[in-house]
Amino acid sequence: MQSHFSFYSRNFHLDKDQVLKEAKKYIPFIENYSPEISEEIKGTAEGAGISLHELVMVIAFPEMYYPRLFRKCTAFAVGGEATVGGEIYVGQNEDEALDPWLNGDCAVLVTVRRKDGPDVLTYTYAGVPSMKGMNSAGIAMCINALTCEQSKLGVPSLVVTREALYQKTIGDAIGAIVRATRADSLNYVIADLNGELYDIEATPNDYDLIYSDKMIVHANHFLSQRMRIEKDLIKEKSPDTHIRANRMRRLLEAQANSIDLEYLDESST
């Protein structure tokens, strides 16, 4: 906890009481969106010996500071004719702020065993429900930061990611994103074992879909023309988002029809 409080104090001149007061506002939205995840968060806080407000502060970090700090993640999904044997691959780089996360020591792989619904394997940070991952129903998901002029109180995006991974079908996973009262923007790259590849750009007020049966690439700028984003804030601050997306697409297209795990691993180094 102290690393987060220090981070907010140093970067935004906010004290502990101010940060926790802000975090508290997200709790009712989590409870209304997913009682199952809400109960888990409460149990995690109790088991860790911290307050619910402190844990929600950690969970809602994209909403609480992302509008002012921009990171650089590039994600992809490939399958069908683009890969050897039609295998489905979903991946991304993780270029997150290391400061409040103890230089990466908080990164964990978590397996969630469920009595009713798919099991989930997720890469996340300690105490955070989910970032990216896959489930036993054959759905895989990665995410990219997006930020525009829209922002409101709502469900933290890293609660939405867990709820999406709880679903049995890719349609229900997309539905979990769409039905959320979203607090801020996020991009979701989702694929399933049937070769369905979708990209969902979601803002607090709208969403748009991109479909492919072969290849999807996304970085940190909006691609949707329909949503008419007024201020693509990450693109304004980090125009290299276009370069990263174009390079990823070029690397994948260069090996189209013969992409395999070895090539993806070599391309990421």
Task: Tell me how many helices (H) and strands (E) the chain has.
Answer: 11, 10
For residue 36, pLDDT beyond 90 = yes
Burial class (CB in 10 A: 0-12, 13-18, 19+), 33: buried
- Per residue in 183-223, pLDDT tens? 999 999 999 999 999 999 999 999 999 999 999 999 999 99
Mode of pairing for the β-strands spanning 132-135 and 207-212: unpaired
Distance CA 163, CA 167 (A): 7
* Backbone φ and ψ of 241, nearest 5°: -55, -35
pLDDT at 13: 85
Q: Which CATH class is domain 2-65?
A: mainly alpha
CB neighbours of residue 230 within 10 Å: 8
Average pLDDT, the chain: 90
pLDDT at 104: 58
CATH topology of domain 75-267: Penicillin V Acylase; Chain A (3.60.60)
Cα-Cα-Cα-Cα dihedral of 128, 170, 81, 202, to 10°? Answer: -60
CB neighbours of residue 77 within 10 Å: 28
Supply the pTM of this predicted model: 0.93
For residue 72, pLDDT beyond 90 = no
Question: What is the residue-wise DSSP string for 32-51?
Answer: HH-HHHHHHHHHHHHHHT--
Q: Where are the domains of the chain?
A: 2-65, 75-267
User: Are the beta carbons of 20 and 54 closer than 8 angstroms?
Assistant: yes
